Structure 1
């Protein structure tokens, strides 16, 4: 809290008589310290944080929500549920800030990427959102490959055609529920729906746009030629802005919904991979970030675009036009442990605490519950345990799950190496990244130094974007320098490295063996 002292015009006379009378004629205006807000619309929860001027998290709120799943690869969520839960989270955060005498200076949203949010002329959603993990558009991906050669699509968009991206989802909707496009006027992305609710503005950033397969990543513009080749129905795409830009302020309706002050600055925001990388302090290829959420990501920030010719890693914009991000995606990272938790009826923490890593690994797990992106680009492959015997225990299988996810990150590191990206350390975050056991396994499998994040880097990254929009920082690089992550380090255990090198060779044989079953 700041006190602004302003003497009144007669103060000099009062001072002549007594200091006491001088104090009485001082006008004191109380100015609350600012807070910078970030909201993360995740796959399994919506959370918001408030950071003070030093970058410390001083307020936080969170609510969980569900994914509707079904046969054929269905995985979708209702934007109206997002709206309800996000409003609850923001109102709780606003109350905490008020109790701390902090004033929101700016807010930015981040969130799950790729899912098309189709809205009508009244800015209302017209259909549930197919999430990034929805794989029902496999046929549409094949159609894209038939119409646009893979090398041409990669060169134009930095991506290949897989079920996670936006264009094939739009094609599926157009084929199976064409009536949706009779009322839909605009497409936005999940985090943009939060921004829309706050500001009434239809806008997105370049990172989300780059994952659509409809953006020319070299020009930074929506590509009409791609839309024509894919025969997409007419739809308006959002105006694009850099992630750090202020694109508006909280409207009267946004204030009533969120509990935040009308007029508060709102930044464009970014996709969750980008916000997480920013929050972890990534700025050059010497360090990557490993994210263990429902899915797993390996992120790397570059000064120039590098495109994997096989499309196993996608390339897109970071928070501005001068920097790029390469992202490897593992479809079922934390989701594999959550699945096992549901099967066993035990909490993930209890399962992990049972693990004994003093002996060499025995069982193997291929973490392909929802197919796999990096490096296989295969939505049909499925998970499996192998090397089980009558002595295999529950804790052996839990350990195999953690190791299988770590091996999938090793797959991603090998692809990065083929692109001449060879990091010496890795920041690790996400719910699974908090596990000491998982950290030890991953450090040994990758043979790198790990830097565990102390908090939620995704929401923190969004708050950093808000701070840039509010003028707290001139650039995102200044934000990284001013709000660094903790200096804790996890070193790989030499004996672990040796045993996991052998196990990884066995793991690499799993995919071709399983492939024959899931064509």
Structure 2
């Protein structure tokens, strides 16, 4: 039996999956690492922690492996997008990585618009200048830490750094590079024009490869640390959302994904790079060669529920927190939540806005608040679906993965709010499966990623929208959309009172 490994480098932990040719998960190991938040709006991690925990997880996986370790033919990666890792001339890490959910770069985003112009930016990169992207972080370091910037030889995305340590080779794939604001998305190349306009040396950009491309084998040193065979092929891998799409079979026109992790995304497959959404949603290169996807993002999706549990039910499990959820009617007895705990991305691109509970009274119980949190997260995701539909896309079936696929009531809620059939997969490991599929396809197990998906994915259950619930949620969604408009100015005024 032959095997592949999928490594998913997330924001809070790395997950390592061992999968066989039947698409079965044979082993799963997860190792967590800390987030570094030096002040409000800052979010960093030490790249060495990623390497240490990935190495530890792989070593544990190999130690429990029964058989010839050389039968593990390939390994590939999924990784959190946008994070900035700066390396010096000797490949040394120059500072902590600045992560996707870091919001310190509002000034640099404005500078990008001044240097490039909004229209030209969208023509080249297909995306707005947002705090989460890599280029604003690069400009922030250039402005605030010039001595570090001057030492930089190349920048990498998070998973690319881990792969570099494993192979000694520096590359980035198109799906991750698309989230930097330096890639010409349609032409699949670094934009010399963008680099020139913003004053970034194009030499800082790493060589580009396809997600399924074999970029080498693991080094003798990494083989010794993990027990993996030195012949293990290493494949480039992709951005977490691209890999989540691959692992869920989002590989043809009309397929849509809802993934609820720390952040939440609604992602839809695109065959071409020429659609125009006016920057309202993201437009990225897929992990499948010569394909694309559009995507809306809720910055605090699962994070909102985790925050609520840790703040008001610390020590309890999610099952206990959500016990009785079905007994609370739609609308949480007049309580509404907006999940803007870290600002918002789609459709507002606002780093200052913060969350709200609207409609509280003394009759509300904790479970009412819990339902309001779930409904608010789902409404935020529905804003992306609304944009897709208004552009002419048909969204009638959505594959749901992540935390939102682990609760029956939440799955039905998604069906009702989205007014679409929700599909739950039999075995859902999200981006890690997509990474494993890239290794399987790259190893020649299948003739295409779609053929691989037919083996690696299957449907467990579907949820149909209930007409009466759809009608209620339509009315409530209209109320939800008003909250941002009516609290924007208030949050601007409250900003000076936050911890800085």
With normalisation by structure 2, the TM-score equals 0.94
Residues 51 and 58 of structure 1 are in contact (CA less than 8 Å); yes or no, is this contact kept in structure 2? yes
Higher mean C-alpha deviation, range 504-513 or range 469-478: 469-478
Matches of 1:402 and 1:497 in 2, distance apart? 16
Alignment match, 1:67: 35
Alignment match, 1:497: 470
Matches of 1:193 and 1:37 in 2, distance apart? 17
Say whether 1:366 aligns with 2:338. Answer: yes
Q: Tell me the secondary structure at the aligned position of residue 445 of structure 2.
A: coil
Residues 358 and 137 of structure 1: is their aligned pair in 2 closer, same or farther, counting only changes over 3 Å? closer
Alignment match, 1:257: 225
Alignment match, 2:450: 477
Higher mean C-alpha deviation, range 171-180 or range 231-240: 231-240
Q: Tell me the secondary structure at the aligned position of residue 131 of structure 2.
A: coil
CA shift for structure 1 position 308 = 4.3
Alignment match, 1:39: 7
Matches of 1:130 and 1:113 in 2, distance apart? 11
CA shift for structure 1 position 70 = 4.0
CA shift for structure 1 position 432 = 3.3
Deviation digits for residues 300-348 of structure 1 (CA, Å, limit 9, x no counterpart): 1111125444312111111244211111111000000011011111333
Residues 170 and 357 of structure 1: is their aligned pair in 2 closer, same or farther, counting only changes over 3 Å? farther
Say whether 1:351 aligns with 2:315. Answer: no
Q: Tell me the secondary structure at the aligned position of residue 103 of structure 2.
A: coil
Matches of 1:410 and 1:357 in 2, distance apart? 23
Say whether 1:82 aligns with 2:54. Answer: no
Q: Tell me the secondary structure at the aligned position of residue 441 of structure 2.
A: helix
Say whether 1:436 aligns with 2:416. Answer: no
Higher mean C-alpha deviation, range 476-485 or range 227-236: 227-236
CA shift for structure 1 position 144 = 0.8
Alignment match, 2:262: 294
Matches of 1:208 and 1:266 in 2, distance apart? 17
Deviation digits for residues 451-505 of structure 1 (CA, Å, limit 9, x no counterpart): 1132212100000000111111222122122323224212223332222112111
Residues 190 and 183 of structure 1: is their aligned pair in 2 closer, same or farther, counting only changes over 3 Å? same
Alignment map for 1:45-444 (pairs within 5 Å):
45-98=13-66, 103-232=71-200, 235-344=203-312, 345=314, 346-361=316-331, 362-444=334-416
Matches of 1:222 and 1:233 in 2, distance apart? 11
CA shift for structure 1 position 236 = 2.4
Matches of 1:467 and 1:156 in 2, distance apart? 32
Residues 242 and 287 of structure 2 are in contact (CA less than 8 Å); yes or no, is this contact kept in structure 1? yes
CA shift for structure 1 position 112 = 0.2
Structure 1 residue ranges (4+ consecutive) displaced by more than 3 angstroms after TM superposition: 98-102, 306-310
Deviation digits for residues 193-232 of structure 1 (CA, Å, limit 9, x no counterpart): 1211211110110011111100111221111221121122
Matches of 1:399 and 1:127 in 2, distance apart? 41
Q: Who wins on radius of gyration, i.e. which is larger?
A: 1
Say whether 1:510 aligns with 2:483. Answer: yes
Q: Tell me the secondary structure at the aligned position of residue 353 of structure 1.
A: coil
With normalisation by structure 1, the TM-score equals 0.91
Residues 367 and 459 of structure 1: is their aligned pair in 2 closer, same or farther, counting only changes over 3 Å? same
CA shift for structure 1 position 257 = 3.0
Matches of 2:463 and 2:225 in 1, distance apart? 43
CA shift for structure 1 position 44 = 1.1
**Any stretches of 5+ residues in structure 1 without a counterpart?**
1-32
Matches of 1:42 and 1:236 in 2, distance apart? 24
Q: How many pairs were matched up?
A: 487
Residues 418 and 169 of structure 1: is their aligned pair in 2 closer, same or farther, counting only changes over 3 Å? same
Say whether 1:449 aligns with 2:421. Answer: yes
Residues 281 and 485 of structure 1 are in contact (CA less than 8 Å); yes or no, is this contact kept in structure 2? no
Matches of 2:330 and 2:237 in 1, distance apart? 44
Q: Which has the higher contact order (CA 8 A, sep 6+)?
A: 2
